[in-house]
Amino acid sequence: MTQLPKEFLNRELIDSEAGTWLGDFRKSHASKVSELEFPGRHNERWKYTPLRAVLELDYQVAQQVNVSDEVLASHRLQGSIELVFINGSFSEELSNLPVDLPKGFSVVPVSQALNSDLAHDVQNILEYEVSEEEDVFETLNKSSFRDGAFIKVAKGAYSETAIHILNFSSAEQSAVNFSRHLIYLEEGALATVIETCADRDGEVKKINNIMTDIVLQERSVLTYSRLQNESEESVNVSALRARLAADAKFNSSVFSSGGALSRHFMDVELNGKHAETDLLGLFTTKGTMHADNRGIIRHNVPECEANQLYKGVLDDSSRGVFNGIVNIARDAQLTNATQMSRNLLLSRQARVDAKPELDVYADDVKAAHGAAIGQLSDAELFYLQTRCISREEAIQMLIKGFMHEVIDKAPAILKPKLDVIFDNYFDGEDVLTC
């Protein structure tokens, strides 16, 4: 029997914070949950990603558990400022938060920020009314997130040291956990933030619901990367919302290589002149995995630029979805926007649904979009084989070349890990060619 959204609420957490600002915030969103349903195929935004099979299990709210440093070792980023969250709870012991943070940087869990002079910033970000109706997962997250990272960079501050948010889940029974991360850059600030979603292999089915809110003030620059590398028992339903002021820049790269089902939604608002965003994505699937990437870029003012490129490589009976929307408002003249989805199928059973969309209400813009789905080229394979390269090696070279257009633009600290994950992801046997 399919569970109802209200059964996912963390009632104990909501009740424990009654009478506080956060308690009231949670309660107001919990009251909305009973009126909502999990999306089905009739919902256009979830048309290609059915949830029925996922929701038939009996999920409980994930409990706090102990995880050893050895288990996390392969997921860490050496040389970074690191916050570790286990099932949504902050672990100070496992985190790497130096006493001497870069000047102007505040890096703390949300739970601590709410009890400090950062509380007002946290409240303003959480209370922001989004541009479109929230789905049930976002409402559940607002009511039941256990904790998250709060990163604030003061006016003009910058650092070359990356900040790493490690979301790790572990459970002995089917569980759901919620986290919420907030990133706030003041005028002229610069930062690099990397977010990783990982779990312990061989466990029961888990649903990880992680939301990230980003606010960029004038002339600030954020380089953001997200790596979702979970086991085949995991389900990841996440969202990111970013708001850019004038001359702000948001560079994003999103990588997905694991999980029975992954769904990532991005909503980027360009609210000030000359704001820019570059959104890159790469997903790989095999077996019966399902990866869904959906996003919307909102050009709300004139003279902004947005470029989006998402790539997928699919094998076996796996499935991918890309739905990207570029919305250009009536007054957003002189907009420059490009959007492209490119996909490589390695099997006849693999399938991808690519749906780029342009909603243009202004008349003086440059906007282009497209989608491509194809296979490896027999001619290219033959050429490489005439150079004494085996067929298997040639296949791997072509797949890597396709993926590295995105991988090579990731932050330098993340590239070695991406190479390990993606370079030998496919075995290179019995691939579809044309």
Confidence grade of residue 9 (pLDDT, cut at 50, 70, 90): confident
* Distance of alpha carbon 246 from alpha carbon 273, whole angstroms: 5
Domain ranges of the chain: 5-422
* Distance of alpha carbon 217 from alpha carbon 243, whole angstroms: 8
Q: What share of the chain is helix, strand, coil (3-state, %, to 5)?
A: 20, 40, 40
- 218-227 pLDDT tens trace: 999 999 999 9
* Distance of alpha carbon 146 from alpha carbon 177, whole angstroms: 8
Q: How many CA atoms lie within 13 A of 47 on its CB side?
A: 10
Nearest to 232 by CA among 191, 262, 209: 262
Nearest to 146 by CA among 205, 95, 91, 82: 91
* Distance of alpha carbon 304 from alpha carbon 153, whole angstroms: 24
- 250-278 pLDDT tens trace: 999 999 998 999 999 999 999 999 999 99
Work out the percent of the chain whose per-residue pLDDT is above 70.
97
**In this predicted structure, what is the pLDDT of residue 235?**
93
**In this predicted structure, what is the pLDDT of residue 131?**
63
| C-beta of residue 348 within 8 angstroms of C-beta of residue 403 | no
- 330-389 pLDDT tens trace: 999 999 999 999 999 999 999 999 999 999 999 999 999 999 999 998 899 898 989 889
Neighbours of 358 (CB within 10 A): 15
- 39-88 pLDDT tens trace: 888 888 888 998 887 887 788 888 888 888 998 999 999 999 999 999 99
